[in-house]
Each structure stands twice: as structure tokens, then as C-alpha cells.
Amino acid sequence: MPELQSQTRVRPLDELDIGSVVRIDERITGRYRPEFWEQRVGYYLRRDPEASQVAEVDGKVVGFMLGDVRAGEFGLEQPSGWIERLGIDPDFRGRDLGKLLFDALLQHFERAGVTDVRTLVDERESGVAGFFNAMGFAPSSLRALELKVAARGKTA
Amino acid sequence: MNVEQITLPRKYHAAVEHWRRHWMPDYESLLANWDKYFPKDEAFCLCAKLELGTPDLIQIGDQRGEKKRLQPDQLTEEQAKHLLAIIRAQASTEFGSIQQHAGTLHRAADEEDRFWVLRVMAEELRHGYQMFHLLLSQDWDHVSGGVKGEEMVEEILSMQTGSHVLDAFNVEYDSFIDNICFAALVDRVGKYQLTMQKVCAYKPMADSMPPMLREEAFHLAAGVIPLRRWAQRAANGDPLVTMQVIQKSFNKWFPRALEMFGDERGGDTNIKFGFKDMKNREAQDRYVEEVQRMTRDVNSRYLRARFAHATPDKVETVLAELERSRGKHDGVSWDDLIHVPDPRFFRRKGESAWQLVGTQGEAFAGADDYLRHLAQHLPEAYLTTRDMRAYAETLRKVHSGEMSVADAIKKMPKLKRVGGTCPCSRSVRWVMEEPETGAAR
């Protein structure tokens, strides 16, 4: 796809991408959440501004992947790369943008000396789970657990 | 990231800490609240940081391909003098911005905004400390005119708003709006300068840039995110926040920010010496394009709040139409939005210096007409400052033929240090420096 590749660029996220991230999220979820994304983008920019990536097609931001390097999460003292958020404009899916974003993030993690990259996936979102599977992710011995507080109150 | 952290010799470290106690009285509060406002972030370190693993060979200029220089005496005398001036100017901006922020920091209406700016100030302090490391870790005597590192540090720490190297750092803030617009506009120039200097042929300078740039990314966010939120409040009818107030602050800072790139016709020496990878005009043009994108983003946020039920595509169409027609749409006019001033507006340096060009490129017949235009488009509190009075006097002289543009470019009020042993002595007074001779750029 040489012609397609020439129109695509992946680069680190910056503060001027907030509007685009809000727009992509709204296209995916139907919710307009500027305050939420201002907080999240602010968080990633102050922690690790070279990690999170956006994908541009013809100069328009159409995808993003947010992550950083953290240590101490869940007792994992060794620094791990964490991928927290991923969004691709529905009109631009099927162009391998997710893979391009992931490759850029992975390169950053490798430069930072990370040996493990982690994420959490909702099994009900088969598309997201399938994407990470295709990127080489495998189930970990760490399992996500949750407790419904209200339910516990009734049974206690 | 592979970074080496370095602490200055105790005497200099103590001098920076001493300066910090004067100009950042809230510093301890920042550290005490760090985990509340910046959870999970690495603790702040007042130290120099050098990136490891950067290129060893000169990337640009006459000596491209040769090994990067590790000591000032490996540079030519001309190169070393030029670089020393860059380092001193950079150090001046870092400490200068803290002094400016300090003036109105306590007026922040929102604690998060205040702590974000406090963090910016702390990181600017670290950037100044970084420049001191460059000045003190090597011998610059052969190009400093006999001025020792110790004296250079004292000189920089004694500068105040009015005596800094660049004009943008000699203008006081009028309100917390200035803290935010400064971060969005002036720190953005800082990002360009640091990015250009990543290639620097003097390796310690090049290695200083990546850690500084990583911190600068948040400084820009600390400007843009509050601007976006204010635009929403203005759109929702908050009587305390208006787009016009933001616009006036843009008009105040944008011209000074452009001048930080140096004269549009210059920058060849930086490339020839391998210190930067862009000439002044190219960098300035890219900056203007980026400010236009930022302004459009803030306007888009404003319109989305004004037309809460409109789709994103509809808001985009309305914004494009308002930009094209400069008219009105459903109660919102083009005048309600923020505009990037014409790059020739209110300039004191560069190829448009002292011209009578309005915010939107309008021409004016005389200095007094132009000053009335400025009075309408600059923050009210700024109009009665010493800076504006000196500007008006000089403008009148230029346009009455009493003073040349070249002399006017050099003539602005400076604070001159007249004594005191404390490195952050306030024993200074206003004096008008005599214009220096020499080239205008």
C-alpha cells in the first residue's frame, strides 16, 4: 500500500491533539468528554510525553494510543510499559493504523528499557481483544478482579 | 530514558536555592502537594539532567560529520562566544519566567491551575540550573571577556523583570490570564528553541535538550488546557471569563514571542556553527502555523459549548464559515472568537519593528492613531505600565523622524544592577541604557 503509507504519519501526542482525541472518542462512544480527555492528555504529557502516539492521515489526526512506563503497579516493581487507551476513527479502520501506533509505542518502551508491555482488555470488546492478540499479547498470570460493593453489603 | 543527573557544587546549588526562596515562596507547598496534583509522577529534582546515547557526530553546518565538541576550547573562539551568549540568554529566560509567574500566581482562581503553574516554575528553575551546569562545568574564560563562571551566575541571578536578555521576559504579568497565555505562547517558542538545539555541535548542550523538552511538553499543556476550559466557560456565559480578555493577552504576548526567534532575516550563523537546525524565519513560520492551530482548537471548544446540540461536523462547518466570512452565525460573530494577531503587529524587533500595523494587518497614518488602536486591543492594566510608556515614547520618536528604527530596536528600558552582595539582590533601579552601536540583529 505505498500510496496509503505516504499519507500516513505516526508521531508523539501533543497538547494540540486534545480536540482530535475528543472527536475520535465521540465518534466511537457517542459521548462528548472534553474535560476527561484534557485530564488524561495532561497526565500523559507530564509523565512521558514521547510515549503516547497519534496517527495522522493527510494531516488529520484519526487515531491515538496512550500509554506510559510505570513501576510499582500491583506489586510489579520492574518498570512496565502500560497501554491504557486506544482509539481509531471508524472511517479509518482497516488501514493498520493501530499496528503503526503500537509499533511506535513499543519502540519507545524498548528505548526506555522496558521488557514487558501490559494492558487490560474487556473481553466483551472482541475487537480490542483481537487487536492486542494480533500484536502478540497473551493472557497473563495477573487477572483483573472486581467486587461490587453494593452486592457485598447485601450479603454481609 | 537514560539520563545522568548532576548536582552543582554546593556553593552554586545553595545560590539557586537562595534565589528560589525569594521568587518561589510556594515551592515547599508544591513539594508537599506533589502527590495530590501529580500522582504517580517522578518526584521533582533540582538537578541538571543529561541525556545519554545521543549522536556523537555534528549533524549540521560547516563541521558536519566531525565529532561533537565536549569542551568550549574545542570550539573556535567565534563559536564559543556565540554559544556562550545562547546559554546565558537561555538561563536568563528560565529565571525570568519564574519572576513573571510569581507576580500573579496567587491570583489563580483554581487550585489545579495554580499547582500546574507552580510545577512549570519549578521545572523552569531546573532548566536555569541546567544552564548553570553548562556555564560552570567547563572553562569559558577565553571567550567570556575574563568574566568567571561565578560572576556569570551572579549576574543571571541578579536579573529581574526589566533586565533580562529577551524582551518577552521584561514584561510584567497583569493577571493570571497572562500566566496561562504565556505558557501557551512563549513556552511554545521555548519548545522550538530546545528542539532546534537538539543537534547542537557542543554535546553537553545537545544532551541537555531532551530532558528539558520532555518537561516543556507539560508547560504547553498547562497553557492550552486552561485556555480550552476558559473558552467553554466564556461560551456558557460566565461573566468573569471572556474571549476578549484572552484575546488581549494574546495580543500582548504574541509579538514578544515572535521576537524570541531573532530577526526574521537571521539565523545563518547558528546553522553554520552547527548549533541549531533551522533559520529564524523558518522556525518562526512554523511557530505561527502552530499558534493558528492552537487558536482554532480553542475556538472550536468555544463554539461546541455555544452550540451544545450541534454535531462536531456542524461546529467545524460553522467555524470554517466564520473564518471565511468574518460575519455571524446564530448569535456568534467572528469577533467573539480568538484570532492570531498579524505577525507585524506591535513589533519592536525584527523586520517589522516599529511599523504601524494593526492586529489584523490594518495600516495607521501616525503614531497616536496606532497607540489608540493598541489601547483598544491590549490588556487595560498593561497600558499604564512603564514598558508601554517607553514603547509609546520611542514609537513617537521613530515616526517623527527623531530616532531611527535601528536605534529604536536597541532602546528599551533596562533594570541595571547597582550593588548588593545577595545573588538575588533587589537593589536595582530603572535606568535607560544608551543605545549600543552595531548591527540591528
Q: How confident is the model at residue B328 (pLDDT cuts 50, 70, 90)?
A: very high
pLDDT of residue B118: 97
- Cβ neighbours, 10 Å, residue B5: 10
ipTM of the complex: 0.90
Q: What was the pLDDT predicted at B146?
A: 85
Cα→Cα distances B248→A16, B258, B378, Å: 21, 16, 5
Nearest CA in chain A to B221: A15
Chain segment A61-106, per-residue pLDDT in tens: 999 999 999 888 888 888 899 999 999 999 999 999 999 999 999 9
What is the C-alpha end-to-end distance of chain A, expressed in Å?
60
Position B413 scores a pLDDT of 53
Q: Which of B214, B221, B232 sits opposite A41 (nearest CB)?
A: B221
Mean pLDDT over the full length of chain A: 91
Please state the φ and ψ torsions of residue B223, each to the nearest 5 degrees: -95, -50
Name which of A23, A32, A45 to mutate to probe chain B: the one with the most chain B Cβ atoms within 10 A of its Cβ: A45
Write down the H helix ranges in chain A.
Answer: 2-7, 18-29, 34-47, 97-111, 126-134, 149-155
* Euclidean distance between CA atoms B336 and B307, whole angstroms: 14
C-alpha grid cell, residue B307: 452550540
Min Cα–Cα distance to chain B from A30, Å: 11
Chain A residues with CB under 8 Å of B228 CB are 18, 34, 38
Point out the residue among B40, B221, B293 whose CB comes nearest to the CB of A45.
B221
| The pLDDT value given to residue A154 | 66
> In the predicted model, is pLDDT for residue A60 greater than 60?
yes
> What's the rounded mean pLDDT across residues B330-345?
97
| Cα B168 from Cα B62, distance rounded (Å) | 32
Collect all residues of chain B within an 8 Å Cβ-Cβ radius of residue A111. 1
**Nearest Cβ partner of A45 from B42, B218, B232?**
B218
A14: nearest CA partner in chain B? B217
Choose the mutation target among B212, B228, B311 for the interface with A, i.e. most A CBs under 10 Å: B228
Mean pLDDT, rounded, for B203-224: 97
In this predicted structure, the answer to whether residue A58 has a pLDDT above a threshold of 90 is yes
Type and span of the H or E element at B211: helix B203-235
Residue A150 has what pLDDT?
Answer: 83
- Asked if B218 and A70 come within 8 Å (Cβ–Cβ), the reply is no
* B213 close to B130: Cβ distance less than 8 angstroms: no
Gap between the Cα atoms of B276 and B55, Å rounded: 14
3-class DSSP state of A72: coil
Instruction: Output the pLDDT for position B196.
Output: 97
pLDDT surpassing 50 at residue B438: no
Comparing C-alpha atoms, which of A87, A137, A79, A33 is closest to residue B2?
A79
pLDDT at A1: 44
Q: Is the model more confident about B46 or about A156?
A: B46
The answer to whether residue A6 scores a pLDDT higher than 70 is no
Scanning A23-62 for CB atoms below 8 A from B yields 23, 26-27, 32, 34-35, 38, 41-42, 45-50
What band does B153 get if pLDDT is binned at 50, 70 and 90? very high
For residue A29, list chain B residues with Cβ-Cβ distance below 8 A. none
Please state, for a pLDDT cut of 90, what percent of chain B lies above it.
86
Q: Which helix (H) or strand (E) holds B5?
A: strand B3-6
Q: Which residues of A touch B119 (CB under 8 A)?
A: 46
Contacts of residue B376, defined as CB under 8 A and 6 or more positions apart, other chains included, come to: none
* Alpha-carbon span B213 to B123, nearest angstrom: 11
Closest CA of chain A from B236, distance in Å: 15
Residue B287 to chain A, least CA–CA distance (Å): 13
Give residue B412's pLDDT band: very low, low, confident or very high (50, 70, 90).
low
Interface contact A70, partner B, CB < 8 A: yes
Judged by CB atoms closer than 8 Å, whether chains meet at A14 and B232 is answered as no
Angle at A93 between CA A92 and CA A97, to 5 degrees: 85
HSE, CB side, 13 Å, CA atoms: give it for residue B59. Answer: 15
The partner residues of A10 in beta bridges, in order of sequence, read: A55
First to last CA, chain B: 38
Model pLDDT, residue A77: 83
pLDDT band at B426 (very low <50, low <70, confident <90, very high): very low
Which pLDDT score, from 0 to 100, does residue A155 have? 61
pLDDT band at A2 (very low <50, low <70, confident <90, very high): very low
Q: Do A113 and B2 touch (CB under 8 A)?
A: yes
pLDDT of residue B15: 94
What is the grid cell recorded at B104? 500573579
Best A46, A54, A111 member to test B by mutation, with max B CBs in 10 Å, is A46
Give the model confidence (pLDDT) of B62-116 as tens digits: 999 999 999 999 999 999 999 999 999 999 999 999 999 999 999 998 999 999 9
pLDDT of residue B431: 41
Which residues touch B425 (CB under 8 Å, ≥6 apart)?
A: B158, B417, B419
B301 and A32 within 8 Å at the Cβ level: the answer is no
Nearest CA distance, A89 vs chain B (angstrom): 13
Q: Is the pLDDT at B432 greater than 50, yes or no?
A: no
Residue B224, SS3 per DSSP? helix
pLDDT of residue A152: 72
- Identify the residue among A13, A15, A38 best suited for mutation to test binding to B, counting B beta carbons within 10 A and taking the highest: A15
Q: Are the C-beta atoms of residues B376 and B160 closer than 8 Å to each other? A: no
Q: Inter-chain contact B217–A46, Cβ cutoff 8 Å?
A: yes
d(CA A148, CA B8): 53
Q: How far is A137 from chain B (nearest CA, A)?
A: 24
* Window from A134-148, B44-58, B110-124, B219-233 with minimum mean pLDDT: A134-148
The total number of residues written for chain A in this structure? 156
Considering only the beta carbons, identify the residue of B1, B218, B293 that sits closest to A112: B1
Does pLDDT of B376 surpass 80?
Answer: yes
Identify the CA nearest to A108 among candidates A72, A68, A135, A56: A68
Q: What is the DSSP letter of B57?
A: B
pLDDT at B128 over 60: yes
- Compute the distance between CA of residue B359 and CA of residue B343 in angstroms, rounded to an integer: 8
Q: What is the mean pLDDT of chain B?
A: 92
The model's pLDDT over B275-313, given as tens digits with 9 standing for 90+, comes to 999 999 999 999 999 999 999 999 999 999 999 999 999
- Mean pLDDT calculated for residue range B228-254: 96
Number of A–B residue contacts, CB under 8 Å = 61
Nearest Cβ partner for B218 among A32, A46, A50: A46
Question: Per-residue pLDDT for B434 more than 60?
Answer: no
CA neighbor of B117 nearest in space, from B258, B226, B242? B226
Q: Do B229 and A38 touch (CB under 8 A)?
A: yes
- Asked whether the predicted pLDDT for residue A5 surpasses 80, the reply is no
Q: Please enumerate residues of B whose Cβ is less than 8 A from a Cβ of A.
A: 1-2, 38, 40-42, 119, 214, 217-218, 220-225, 228-229, 232, 290, 293-294, 297, 300-301, 304, 312
Which chain A residue is nearest to residue B215, measuring alpha carbons?
Answer: A46
